[in-house]
């Protein structure tokens, strides 16, 4: 059905489609319809289960931050067969984000460029929504960003405020200092400022706590971030966010738009970053970037990712993507003689 509708859908503005999709999922969740379609999309097989950063995942495929910014549809998304859902990014202050248009399809490249700017309803409202709704059995992570109006020197308090508003509902928390769409945000990836933010969150009791890195970081800076995560005893590392780089292979005219590039063109780069991180830490790694197929997910798992996340793949492949990937991963595990996903994690290291 999605393949039949996709040509018409892709002629509409991407943010319009995203809002309509979220609206449909919201209706399905309120009406309980998500429970009916869960049986179709969910692949139930113990070989897919993974334990990482204190959480148990029924399968390794999750929804990345950015899709459900305001924590409106976590149950409806989990019912599509995903093993976890990461909501946000949430900021302390409610903010509208950047001016539209701010989300662009690169159809020829199966990619997106976004310069959303952390648009969300703010920590007070999102935290209240998380507290009041019934959440799925799958882990729900909360991605935390910095408010645009907050000076960089006040970032630790800003992140802590947001954490304290979502603390009771989240199963894990991700510090986002790597989005390219908030001015100055990536400066917080330097060791001193990142340490202040992470320590402020740890003092507030944030756990499990992960940090999300940019694919554009110099390797020395990545090593510093990994060393810091090890020293502070974080629970995991997310690799990676979107990139401001534009590969020469891009064909779409929308490649000229500013913002973060996601999707197929960053798959190999993201996998290299997963491997680079996994080789330097025993902390669990979440692999993000260009996951469309079982092969895409599996290569990140073999490179050291305990679980993977996707967003752009959902746009181009539709609601059955988690089912397709999980079924394919089972075939790949059997082909390679692994008894489970956990056995395959880091097999190529």
> Is residue 202 helix, strand or coil?
helix
- Taking phi over 0 as left and psi of -120 to 50 as alpha, with beta for the rest, 208 belongs to beta
Other Cβ atoms less than 10 A from the Cβ of 196: the count is 16
pLDDT for 127 equals: 98
pLDDT for 182 equals: 86
Angle among Cα 346, 330, 139 to the nearest 5 degrees reads 70
Backbone torsions φ then ψ of 200, nearest 5 degrees: -65, -40
Enumerate the domain spans of the chain: 2-339
Other Cβ atoms less than 10 A from the Cβ of 211: the count is 27
User: With the CA atoms of 59, 64, 67 and 71 taken in that order, what torsion angle do they form, in degrees rounded to the nearest 10?
Assistant: 70
Question: Do 278 and 285 touch, CB atoms closer than 8 A?
Answer: yes
254 is in an annotated binding site: no
Question: What distances in angstroms separate CA 139 from CA 54, 59, 66, 74, one per listed residue?
Answer: 10, 11, 16, 10
120 is in an annotated binding site: no
66 is in an annotated binding site: yes
242 is in an annotated binding site: yes
117 is in an annotated binding site: yes
For strand 236-239 and strand 61-63, is the pairing parallel, antiparallel, or unpaired? unpaired
Sign, Cα dihedral of 108, 111, 113, 119: positive
Question: Do 254 and 110 touch, CB atoms closer than 8 A?
Answer: no
Q: How many helices (H) and strands (E) does the chain have?
A: 13, 13
Fold of 2-339: TIM Barrel (3.20.20)
pLDDT for 1 equals: 59
Kind plus residue range of the DSSP H or E element containing 22: helix 14-31
Question: Do 318 and 6 touch, CB atoms closer than 8 A?
Answer: yes
Query: Hunting for tokens 């509708």 — which residue is that?
Result: 5
| Distant-in-sequence, close-in-space partners of 23: CB < 8 Å, separation ≥ 6 | none
Burial class of residue 339 (count of CB atoms within 10 Å of its CB; 0-12, 13-18, 19+): exposed
Q: How far apart are CA 191 and CA 168, in angstroms?
A: 28
Is the peptide bond between 271 and the residue preceding it cis, with omega within 30 degrees of 0? no
Backbone torsions φ then ψ of 286, nearest 5 degrees: -100, 120
Q: In tens digits, what is the pLDDT along the chain, a chain of 349 residues?
A: 567 677 777 788 999 999 999 999 999 999 999 999 999 999 999 999 999 999 999 999 999 999 999 999 999 999 999 999 999 999 999 999 999 999 999 999 999 999 999 999 999 999 999 999 999 999 999 999 999 999 999 999 999 999 999 999 999 999 999 888 888 888 889 899 999 999 999 999 999 999 999 999 999 999 999 999 999 999 999 999 999 999 999 999 999 999 999 999 999 999 999 999 999 999 999 999 999 999 999 999 999 999 999 999 999 999 999 999 999 999 999 999 999 999 999 999 9
pTM score, whole prediction: 0.97
Sign, Cα dihedral of 228, 233, 234, 235: positive
pLDDT for 7 equals: 77
118 is in an annotated binding site: yes
Segment 69-89, tens digit of pLDDT: 999 999 999 999 999 999 999
DSSP structural state of residue 150: S
Q: What positions carry a catalytic annotation? A: 179
For strand 305-310 and strand 285-288, is the pairing parallel, antiparallel, or unpaired? parallel
Question: What distances in angstroms separate CA 134 from CA 40, 129, 141, one per listed residue?
Answer: 21, 10, 15
Q: How far apart are CA 44 and CA 59, in angstroms?
A: 8
Residue 153 tokens read as 């020197």
pLDDT for 348 equals: 98
Burial class of residue 340 (count of CB atoms within 10 Å of its CB; 0-12, 13-18, 19+): middle
Segment 271-288, tens digit of pLDDT: 999 999 999 999 999 999
pLDDT for 2 equals: 65
């Amino acid at each position: 059905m999605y393949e039949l509708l996709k040509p018409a859908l892709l002629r509409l503005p991407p943010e319009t489609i995203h809002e309509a999709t979220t609206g449909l999922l919201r209706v399905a969740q309120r009406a309980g319809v998500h429970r009916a379609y869960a049986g179709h999309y969910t692949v139930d097989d113990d070989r897919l289960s993974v334990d990482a950063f204190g959480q148990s995942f029924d399968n390794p495929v999750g929804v990345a931050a950015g899709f459900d910014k305001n924590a409106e549809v976590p149950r409806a998304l989990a019912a599509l067969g995903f093993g976890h859902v990461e909501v946000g990014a949430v900021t302390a202050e409610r903010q509208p984000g950047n001016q539209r248009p701010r989300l662009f399809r690169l159809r020829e490249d199966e990619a997106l460029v976004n310069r959303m700017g952390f648009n969300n309803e703010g920590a007070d409202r999102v935290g209240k929504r998380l507290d009041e709704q019934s959440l799925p059995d799958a882990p729900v992570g909360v991605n935390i960003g910095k408010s645009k109006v907050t000076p960089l020197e006040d970032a630790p308090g800003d992140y802590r405020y947001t954490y304290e508003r979502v603390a009771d509902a989240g199963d894990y928390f991700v510090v986002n200092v790597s989005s390219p769409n908030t001015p100055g945000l990536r400066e917080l990836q330097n060791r001193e400022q990142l340490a202040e933010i992470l320590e402020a969150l740890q003092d507030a009791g944030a756990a499990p706590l992960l940090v999300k890195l940019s694919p554009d970081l110099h390797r020395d800076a990545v090593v510093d971030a990994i060393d810091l995560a090890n020293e502070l005893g974080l629970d995991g590392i997310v690799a990676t966010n979107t990139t401001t780089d534009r590969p020469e292979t891009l064909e779409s005219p929308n490649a000229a738009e500013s913002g973060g590039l996601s999707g197929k063109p960053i798959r190999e780069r993201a996998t290299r970053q997963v491997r680079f991180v996994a080789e330097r830490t025993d902390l669990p790694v979440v692999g993000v970037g260009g996951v469309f197929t079982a092969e895409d997910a599996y290569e990140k798992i073999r490179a050291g990712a305990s679980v993977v996340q996707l967003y752009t793949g959902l746009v181009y492949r539709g609601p059955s993507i988690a089912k397709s990937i999980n079924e394919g991963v089972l075939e790949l595990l059997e082909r390679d003689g692994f008894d489970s996903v956990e056995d395959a994690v880091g097999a190529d290291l």
